[in-house]
Chains A and B, each alone.
Chain A
């Protein structure tokens, strides 16, 4: 079946703009995760959803970052007033339940000019 998909694959924006990044998890996966990967680093946790609710948002760096998953499937990561330091690859992962393997998407490369 289809894996985790993320759109867009690349996003270039200007400092101060608002961006939305979309994640389509594997069908039936109840858990969804967002990570951010800066150049030369491993993925860094941002937020985890179990169903529609954010079960752990301790990784969001500040209040410019927000994520939703209104119907328990697709999720959108929203970044307000983007800064150059937000440039990174944003990864989404999903799992069947809390204890299961996390399957990663291809990522969205965000560049803030």
Chain B
């Protein structure tokens, strides 16, 4: 079985502060991990995927197989980063994504 855990429902930081959104997963094989974001009144969209190893909007995420984590990080939060963030996993060649319950990021001015 595959499972994604996002322990924080809400993360509130001030503008310019570092951000780390936690994601832990449970999967016995080699998963593919994603971060999706949903801004207010917008649809869910892909932020980044671990195989791309890229930085999007200043966000990065590193897959740590030893700790089974895929935390999302940004060194300096911006107000426009305020949104709902979902970590997702795709395993064993399945195309269906398993999502975590999401973390709401609030960046205060």
Residues of A whose CB lies within 8 Å of any CB of B are 3-4, 31, 33, 35, 40-45, 48, 55-56, 58-59, 91, 95, 98-99, 101-107
Q: What 1/0 mask marks residues of chain B from 81 to 109 whose CB sits below 8 Å from any chain A CB?
A: 00000101000001111111110000000
Contacts between the two chains (Cβ within 8 Å), count = 52
Roughly how many angstroms separate A44 CA and B46 CA in the complex, as a whole number? 16
The answer to whether B95 touches A31 (Cβ under 8 A) is yes
What are 21 A-B contacts defined by CB distance under 8 Å? A3-B43, A33-B95, A35-B97, A35-B99, A40-B9, A40-B101, A42-B88, A42-B100, A42-B102, A43-B86, A43-B97, A43-B99, A48-B95, A48-B96, A55-B95, A56-B95, A59-B96, A101-B49, A102-B97, A104-B44, A105-B43
Hey, which chain B residues are within 8 Å of A40, CB to CB? 9, 101
Taking A35-B99, A41-B101, A43-B97 as known contacts, 17 extra A-B pairs with beta carbons closer than 8 A to each other, sorted by chain A number, are A31-B95, A33-B96, A35-B97, A41-B102, A42-B6, A42-B88, A42-B99, A45-B96, A45-B97, A45-B98, A56-B94, A56-B95, A99-B95, A101-B46, A102-B97, A104-B45, A107-B43
Which residues from B are CB-within-8-Å of A55?
A: 95
Least Cβ–Cβ distance between A110 and chain B, in angstroms: 17
Q: Cβ of B97: which chain A residues have Cβ within 8 Å of it? A: 33, 35, 43, 45, 102
Chain B interface mostly? loop
Chain A residue with Cβ nearest B6: A42
- Could you tell me the distance between the alpha carbons of A105 and B38 in the complex, rounded to whole angstroms? 12
Q: Which of B44, B88, B102 has the most CB of A within 10 A?
A: B44
Query: Is the CB–CB distance between A43 and B96 below 8 Å?
Result: no
State in angstroms the CA–CA spacing of A12 and B44 once bound together. Answer: 23
Least Cβ–Cβ distance between B102 and chain A, in angstroms: 5
CB-CB under 8 A from A43, the residues of chain B are 44, 86, 97, 99
